[in-house]
């Protein structure tokens, strides 16, 4: 859909800019359409930032061209001198996107053979109209909330499945298909969601609109903890006496893994489970001893996993209430 909307948006900006310029009886009205085309950027913030830098560059271009035309006349040679100076200045201030657009407008003075108030007004209006319609086109960029929500839901569901599979693998050393491939799908869902969230953030004028990006950052951090837990699980050689309790807790986390869950009760239950495991008599068998230690480490990682969600909930959800 975006492949269709973006060209339509650019075409509309160019046409409206040209029509308005014609109605105002401006010279070189087609140039307003070119300016509009060059002004449309992928996001609102980029469009506004680019427009500001191009206006600064345009003011400089006017000053340089006025001097060149005054002393060298309205000739191609004067334009060559202007280009040399202007391009060096643009390169220094990183106004590279302004070089072509502003120079097109500056070249009009050669045809007009004058640099008076009327000619200056003509070029300023072409610039303002073209850039203005470029900005207006991007104002109608809608936040892709549905797309992000779908990707976040996919990531959440995959995390629930990973937790559930971990629960089963703790109790079944021969659990089939436990290769870690599930993390590949989770990586893709989180990466895609991050791209859309960043794009949407750049299409919002409010600095506070960072919920989606922070949510995805939280899930990505949780994903890395799950990877650590996975590496622990595949080292298990036995099913210790404490394995069932750990398995049940992982299962419970997978079932209660909801976006609006503040996980307070889960953290409390986890702390109680850790204390309970400390009181259980240590096994004499070396393999079981090592595996119980692994299970205890897994619970510590799980606490980190839940605390990420708890902190996110306190900062970004409770603050909205």
Would you state the pLDDT for residue 101?
87
Q: Which one is predicted more confidently, 318 or 169?
A: 169
With respect to residue 80, please indicate whether it lies within any of the assigned structural domains: yes
46 and 180 fall within a common domain: no
> pLDDT tier at 250 (50, 70, 90 boundaries)?
very high
Total count of domains within the chain: 2
Task: Say if 144 falls within a structural domain.
Answer: no
The reported pLDDT for the residue numbered 181 is 83
* pLDDT over 80 at 201, yes or no: no
Q: Is the pLDDT of residue 78 over 90?
A: yes
| Mean pLDDT across 222-238 | 93
* Residue 321: pLDDT band with limits 50, 70, 90: very low
pLDDT higher than 70, residue 145: no
Instruction: Judge whether residue 272 has pLDDT over 50.
Output: yes
Asked if residue 186 has pLDDT above 50, the reply is yes
* In a domain? residue 255: yes
- pTM of full prediction above 0.85: no
CATH at 272: 1.20.120.940
pLDDT band at 46 (very low <50, low <70, confident <90, very high): low
Q: Which of 139, 166, 181 is the last residue of a domain?
A: 139
Pick the most confident of 7-16, 76-85, 88-97, 140-149: 76-85
Whether 113 maps to a domain, the answer reads yes
- Res 10: pLDDT: 84
Q: Of 83, 108, 139, at which residue does a domain stop? A: 139
Per-residue pLDDT at 25? 94
Provide the residue range defining the domain that includes 78.
2-139
- In a shared domain, residues 167 and 230: yes
Q: What does the pLDDT look like over 11-35, one tens digit per residue?
A: 888 999 999 999 999 999 999 999 9
Mark which of 90, 119, 139 sits at the end of a domain. Answer: 139
Q: HEC profile for the chain?
A: CHHHHHHHHHHHHHHHHHHHHHHCCCCCCHHHHHHHHHHCCCCHHHHHHHHHHHHHHHHHHHHHHHHHHHHHCCCHHHHHHHHHHHHHHHHHHCCCCHHHHHHHHHHHHHHHCCCCHHHHHHHHHHHHHHHHHHHHHHHCCCCCHHHHHHHHHHHHHHHHHHHHHHHHHHHCCCCCCCCCCHHHHHHHHHHHHHHHHHHHHHCCCCCCCCHHHHHHHHHHHHHHHHHHHHHHHCCCCCCCCCHHHHHHHHHHHHHCCCCCCCCHHHHHHHHHHHHHHHHCCCCCCHHHHHHHHHHHHHHHHHHHHHHHHHHHHHHHHHHHC
How large a percentage of the chain has pLDDT more than 90? 53
The rounded percent of the chain whose pLDDT value lies above 70 is: 89
What confidence tier does 146 reach under pLDDT thresholds 50, 70, 90?
Answer: low
pLDDT for position 94: 87
């Amino acid at each position: 859909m975006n492949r269709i909307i973006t060209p339509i948006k650019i075409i509309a900006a160019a046409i409206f800019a040209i029509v308005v310029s014609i109605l105002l009886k401006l010279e070189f009205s087609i140039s307003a359409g070119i300016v509009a085309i060059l002004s449309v950027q992928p996001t609102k913030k980029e469009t506004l930032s680019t427009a500001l830098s191009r206006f600064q560059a345009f003011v400089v271009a006017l000053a340089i061209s006025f001097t060149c035309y005054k002393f060298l006349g309205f000739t191609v040679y004067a334009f060559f001198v202007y280009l040399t100076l202007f391009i060096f200045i643009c390169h220094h201030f990183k106004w590279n996107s302004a070089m072509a657009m502003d120079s097109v407008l500056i070249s009009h003075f050669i045809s007009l053979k004058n640099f008076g108030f009327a000619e200056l007004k003509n070029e300023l209006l072409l610039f303002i109209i073209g850039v203005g319609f470029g900005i207006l086109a991007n104002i109608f960029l809608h936040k892709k909330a549905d797309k992000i929500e779908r990707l976040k839901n996919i990531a959440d569901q995959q995390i629930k499945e990973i937790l559930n599979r971990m629960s089963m693998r703790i109790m079944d050393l021969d659990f089939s298909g436990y290769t870690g491939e599930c993390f590949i799908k989770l990586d893709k869902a989180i990466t895609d969601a991050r791209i859309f969230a960043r794009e949407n953030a750049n299409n919002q004028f409010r600095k506070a609109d960072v919920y989606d990006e922070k949510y995805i950052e939280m899930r990505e951090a949780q994903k890395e903890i799950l990877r650590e837990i996975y590496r622990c699980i595949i080292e298990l050689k036995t099913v210790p006496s404490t394995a069932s309790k750990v398995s049940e807790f992982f299962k419970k986390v997978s079932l209660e893994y909801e976006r609006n869950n503040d996980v307070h009760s889960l953290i409390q239950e986890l702390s109680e489970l850790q204390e309970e495991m400390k009181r259980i008599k240590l096994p004499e068998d070396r393999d079981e001893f090592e595996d119980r230690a692994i299970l205890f480490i897994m619970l510590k990682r799980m606490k980190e996993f839940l605390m990420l969600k708890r902190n996110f909930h306190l900062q970004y959800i409770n603050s909205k209430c």
